């Protein structure tokens, strides 16, 4: 097989990027030759580079020629022509670096990457596999309609992380369901090992100031409206407000909130709600599993999440999940035995289910273990990578 060109949007430590990293490691073990094109860098960049060559799309220049010259070109009506020439030269340089003549297949990880795919002029005979991790909110936020339409038209096979995701691209974008494959790649053996290592580490919560007997309700993920960080604080207010002083202390911990105006707003809400001593926002960290493995309940309060990695991390840590219906693919895994699925944005129902699990240790242990068992049953890593290698072989033989 020729080189597989992989296109990713950045190297940040988030779900789709971590899934891609695991996928690339497994593909390398299968002898697949890869070249990765990234729209931007991030903390995972060196780990990507340890697997295969990585090309970063250059940042856009602020000027077509220069500050003063651009003003003159603008008055003469020539700026756009000079700018387009610069963009085309940049595209030719990237195409040369990628050596498209050596590429046998393109793998696009996330529809966010459509902005770079569309500028590469991939020859029509090269098959394109697109791995979609996004639903409507993310599509609106991170893609442009024309770029996404072009990517989907060029896509030979669409990989969807969940039934909810597949249905979205079929119904909202008219993608042929016969060319959609449900596919989730989780390196479950590595994740299991990492969970075990995390459990053997000293309790990290002493650094956060939690009491040793605290019950911990956890959240995890980027800080953005889609993830429901604000709902997490409302849930904390409801749950803690329903407990008495004689109960075990309950603390809410969200891992993954960087310094930003949103963090400041969330901290302001926490302070005004009188929750400063029991709601904690942890910065993004590679020690996610050290926090996760000590959660008693994981609450996925995302307004939209196609099939989040954090649910797998929770399940393999033996932690039950409470999530919203109609918010992505997690209900397909959680069902009725791996936690609870509550009506969309019904915070009262979510609070009640969290309390049910906190007050019934045997129930939460049973549900957490069952969730982990289902993950191992439904998502064996080796079977997943073999499926992909077989697909690559089939498409490149056409």
* Of 61 and 354, more confident: 354
- In which band, very low, low, confident or very high, does the pLDDT at 384 lie, cut at 50, 70 and 90? confident
Are residue 105 and residue 179 in the same domain, yes or no? yes
Nearest Cα residue to 164 out of 322, 388, 376, 330:
330
Are residue 358 and residue 391 in the same domain, yes or no? no
Q: 353-356: long-range contacts (C-beta < 8 A, 24 or more apart)?
A: 353/322, 354/217, 354/235, 354/239, 354/297, 354/299, 354/322, 355/239, 355/242, 355/243
pLDDT the model gives residue 185: 78
Report the alpha-carbon distance of residue 43 to residue 286 in Å, rounded: 10
Write the pLDDT tens digit of every residue in 187-237. 788 889 999 999 999 889 887 788 888 999 999 988 889 999 999 999 999
Q: 195-203: long-range contacts (C-beta < 8 A, 24 or more apart)?
A: 195/289, 195/292, 195/293, 195/313, 195/316, 195/317, 197/289, 198/287, 198/289, 198/290, 198/292, 198/293, 198/317, 199/293, 201/290, 203/294
For 53, counting Cβ atoms within 10 Å of its Cβ (0-12 exposed, 13-18 middle, 19+ buried), the class is middle
Are residue 252 and residue 277 in the same domain, yes or no? yes
Are residue 17 and residue 31 in the same domain, yes or no? yes
Are residue 263 and residue 148 in the same domain, yes or no? no
* Mean pLDDT confidence for 257-266: 93
Are residue 384 and residue 371 in the same domain, yes or no? no
* 295: containing domain: 188-378
Write the pLDDT tens digit of every residue in 169-192. 999 999 999 999 998 877 788 889
Are residue 157 and residue 203 in the same domain, yes or no? no
Nearest Cα residue to 157 out of 137, 178, 141:
178
Are residue 149 and residue 278 in the same domain, yes or no? no
Write the pLDDT tens digit of every residue in 321-339. 999 999 999 999 999 999 9
pLDDT the model gives residue 83: 55
Write the pLDDT tens digit of every residue in 290-329. 999 999 999 999 999 988 889 999 999 999 999 999 999 9
Asked if residue 150 lies in contact with residue 173, where contact means CB atoms within 8 angstroms, the answer is no
Are residue 213 and residue 73 in the same domain, yes or no? no
Greatest CA separation found in the chain? 77
Token pair of 186 as six digits: 């989780």
Does 67 score more than 60 pLDDT?
Answer: no
Are residue 147 and residue 206 in the same domain, yes or no? no
* Of 187 and 30, more confident: 30
Mean pLDDT score across all residues of the chain = 88
Does 84 score more than 60 pLDDT?
Answer: no
Write the pLDDT tens digit of every residue in 92-131. 667 667 777 888 999 999 899 998 898 888 888 999 999 9
Our count of domains for the chain comes to: 2
Does 91 score more than 70 pLDDT?
Answer: no
Are residue 219 and residue 331 in the same domain, yes or no? yes
Are residue 101 and residue 141 in the same domain, yes or no? yes
CATH of the domain at 325: 3.40.50.2000
pLDDT the model gives residue 101: 82
Write the pLDDT tens digit of every residue in 344-374. 999 999 999 999 999 999 999 999 999 999 9
pLDDT the model gives residue 203: 87
């Amino acid at each position: 097989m020729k080189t597989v060109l992989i296109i990713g949007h950045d190297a940040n430590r988030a779900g789709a990027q971590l899934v891609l990293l695991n996928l690339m490691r497994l593909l390398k073990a299968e002898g697949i030759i890869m070249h990765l094109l990234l729209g931007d860098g991030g903390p995972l960049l060196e780990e990507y580079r340890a697997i295969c060559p990585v090309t970063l799309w250059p940042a856009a220049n602020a000027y077509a020629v220069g500050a003063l010259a651009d003003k003159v070109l603008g008055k003469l009506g020539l700026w756009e022509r000079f700018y387009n020439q610069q963009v085309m030269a940049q595209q030719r340089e990237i195409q040369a670096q990628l050596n498209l003549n050596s590429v046998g297949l393109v793998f696009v990880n996330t529809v966010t990457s459509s902005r770079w795919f569309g500028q590469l002029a991939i020859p029509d005979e090269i098959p394109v596999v697109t791995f979609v991790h996004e639903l409507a909110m993310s599509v609106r936020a991170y893609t442009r309609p024309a770029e996404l339409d072009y990517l989907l038209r060029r896509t030979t096979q669409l990989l969807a992380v969940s039934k909810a995701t597949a249905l979205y691209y079929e119904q909202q974008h008219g993608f042929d369901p016969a060319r959609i494959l449900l596919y989730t790649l989780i390196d479950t053996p590595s994740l299991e090992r990492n969970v075990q290592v995390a459990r053997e580490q000293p309790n990290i919560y002493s650094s956060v100031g939690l009491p040793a007997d605290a019950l911990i309700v956890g959240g995890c993920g980027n800080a953005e409206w889609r993830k429901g960080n604000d709902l997490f604080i409302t849930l904390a207010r409801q749950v803690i407000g329903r407990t008495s002083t004689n109960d075990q202390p309950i603390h809410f911990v969200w891992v993954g909130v960087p310094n930003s105006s949103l963090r400041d707003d969330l901290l302001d809400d926490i302070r005004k709600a009188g929750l400063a001593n029991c709601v904690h926002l942890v910065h993004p960290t590679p020690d996610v599993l050290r926090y996760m493995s000590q959660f008693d309940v994981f609450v996925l309060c995302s307004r939209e999440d196609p099939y989040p990695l954090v649910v797998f991390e929770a399940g393999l840590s033996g932690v039950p999940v409470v999530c919203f219906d109609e918010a992505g693919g997690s209900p397909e895994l959680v069902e009725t035995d791996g936690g609870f699925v509550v009506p969309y944005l019904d915070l009262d129902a979510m609070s009640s289910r969290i309390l049910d699990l906190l007050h019934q240790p045997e129930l939460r242990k049973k549900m957490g273990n069952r969730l982990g068992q289902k993950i191992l049953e439904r998502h064996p890593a080796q079977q997943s990578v073999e499926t992909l290698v077989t697909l690559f072989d089939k498409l490149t033989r056409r």
